[in-house]
């Protein structure tokens, strides 16, 4: 039981760290707004370019947020850092690329873009899920009662295994 009175009692008091963090947040927001205003008023970017930039930024930020959420959930449930988490995402992305490439080569993606995108996303999600479930069942579950360093080393090894498996399956060339 806490004796500090809870959030209602603390509402009026801010520590020095909280004040500094709020100041930094406000400074960042002011900087972003000022930079946006200066860029738009200087005519460096057109309205359509700026809109595209914002949409791409939100999409990229959403991917980062999704990966961070996955790290947080895995650590919260298993109490271990899964270094192979990014590799599972990479496996799904590479699978999506090759499925999209195969569908585009056959003309299906051009004829049915929404259905093709749905197929690509479904295959990417299923392949990532399969890799994650296999990783948990084979590498992590047997080590649940092991000392904390053992699953950590296993996670590094699993990361190397997945990245080298993808390199062997899909090749080393840059895909675009």
Digit-by-digit pLDDT tens for the chain (176 residues) are 555 555 555 557 889 999 999 999 999 999 999 988 888 788 887 778 888 988 999 999 998 998 889 889 888 887 888 888 889 989 999 999 999 999 999 888 889 889 999 999 999 999 999 999 999 999 988 988 888 889 889 999 999 999 999 899 888 876 66
Residues 6+ apart with CB under 8 A from 140: 78, 80, 82, 151, 154, 155
Task: Provide the pLDDT for residue 18.
Answer: 93
| CB 143, CB 151: distance < 8 Å | yes
Task: Provide the pLDDT for residue 174.
Answer: 66
Token pair of 90 as six digits: 């990479």
Give the count of beta carbons closer than 10 Å to the beta carbon of residue 18. Answer: 10
pTM check: above 0.75: no
Task: Provide the pLDDT for residue 129.
Answer: 95
Task: Provide the pLDDT for residue 9.
Answer: 52
Rounded CA-CA distance 99/88 in Å is 17
């Amino acid at each position: 039981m806490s004796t500090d009175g809870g959030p209602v009692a603390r509402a009026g008091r801010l520590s020095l760290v909280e004040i500094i963090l709020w100041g930094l947040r406000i400074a960042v927001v002011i900087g972003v707004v000022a930079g946006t205003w200066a860029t738009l008023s200087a005519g460096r970017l057109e309205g359509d370019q700026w809109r595209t930039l914002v949409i791409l930024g939100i999409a990229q930020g959403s991917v980062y947020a999704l990966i961070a959420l996955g790290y947080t959930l895995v650590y919260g449930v298993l109490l271990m850092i899964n270094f192979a988490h990014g590799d599972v995402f990479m496996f799904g992305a590479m699978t999506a690329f090759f499925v999209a490439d195969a569908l585009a080569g056959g003309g299906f993606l051009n004829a049915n873009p929404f259905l093709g995108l749905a197929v690509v996303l479904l295959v990417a999600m299923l392949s990532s899920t399969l890799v994650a479930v296999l990783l948990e069942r084979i590498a992590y579950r047997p080590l649940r009662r092991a000392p904390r360093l053992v699953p950590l080393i296993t996670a590094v090894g699993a990361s190397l295994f997945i990245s080298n498996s993808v390199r062997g399956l899909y090749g080393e060339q840059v895909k675009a």
